Amino acid sequence: MINISQITKAYDQTVVLDIPELQIAKGVSFGLVGNNGAGKTTLFSLILDLIEATTGTVQVKEADVSESEEWKAFIGSFVDENFLIDFLTPEEYFEFVGKLHGMNSADVKGFLADFEEFFNGEVLDQKKYIRALSKGNKKKVGIVAALMGHPEVLLLDEPFISLDPSSQIRLKRILKDLQDNRELTVLISSHNLNHVAEVCDRIVILEKGRLIQDIQASEDTLKELHAYFTV
C-alpha cells in the first residue's frame, strides 16, 4: 500500500529524517511514536507531499506522491486545524468537502449522522464558524471530514490531543469499527503510548529522524514502549 524508499529530509546541513526503507501493508493500523523532534510530522508531510524530500521516494499504491495526483483520490488526512477553512461553519465545510467527493446534501447529512455521538451536540447546529470552536471540536471536524469519500488510507497526526476523555474513547471505537468493517489502512502519530498500543497493529518508534524499533502489537506492546521511553 505505502512504500518508502531512501527517504531523507534535510534543512541546510541538518538531517531531520533518514529512513532507508519502510512498507505499510493494506489494512494495517500503523502507529508512529517518538519524542518531540523525532520526525513524525515530517514523515507524514512527506507521505502527503506537503514538503519535498531531499532524497528518496514515497509511493502510495505504486504511485509516486511527488509525481502523481492519483493517490489523492483514496487517502484521507487531518494534520492540524490550519488545514480547515475556518471562516465556514462546520456544516458549510462538510458540504464543501462532500462535493469534492461527489456527495450531495442528502449524502452529507446521512454520513454525518453516523458521528452524532462523537460530535456530542457540540459541533453541528451551533451557529458558529469553525474558528470559534474549541480545539477539540475543530479536531472532530477535521477527523470526520478526512473520512468523507470513504478513503482507503486514513492519516491522522496527533488525533487524540485536545479531545476530552469521552471523545478519545469514541474516536478509538470509530477507528476500530472502520478497521473491522472494511480494509482501511490507518496511520496515526501520537505522544500517547496507551492510545497507540490500544488502536494499532504495528508501531514504529522514531528517534531523531531514524527508525529505532518496529513492533508488531501484542499484549506486551505497552510495556515495550514504556521500557524504551523510560530508559
Q: How far apart are CA 112 and CA 124, in angstroms?
A: 9
Instruction: Give exposure, 80-117, as e/b (b: 16+ Cβ within 10 Å).
Output: ebeebeeebbbbebbbebbeebebeeeebeebbeebee
pLDDT at 228 over 70: yes
- Give residue for cell 528518496: 56
- Give residue for cell 531523507: 8
Cell numbers standing for residue 186: 490507518
What is the value of pTM for the model shown? Answer: 0.91
pLDDT of residue 180: 78
pLDDT at 182 over 70: no
Phi and psi at residue 211, to the nearest 5°: -80, 115
Q: How many other C-beta atoms can be found within 10 angstroms of the C-beta atom of residue 189?
A: 24
Quickly state the pLDDT bin for 13 (edges 50, 70, 90): confident
Which residues, other chains included, contact 88 with Cβ-Cβ below 8 Å and sequence gap of 6+?
96, 129, 130
pLDDT in tens, 96-108: 999 999 999 999 9
3-state secondary structure of 78: strand
Structural domains of the chain, ranges and CATH numbers in brackets: 2-74+151-229 (3.40.50.300), 82-139 (no CATH)
Q: Measuring CA to CA, how many Å separate 76 from each of 14, 144, 210?
A: 30, 10, 25
- Top pLDDT among 37 and 5 is at 5
pLDDT in tens, 108-164: 999 999 999 999 999 999 999 999 999 999 999 999 999 998 899 999 999 999 999
Mean pLDDT of the chain: 91
pLDDT at 5 over 70: yes
CA-closest candidate to residue 32, choices 207, 218, 184: 207
Cell numbers standing for residue 203: 508501531
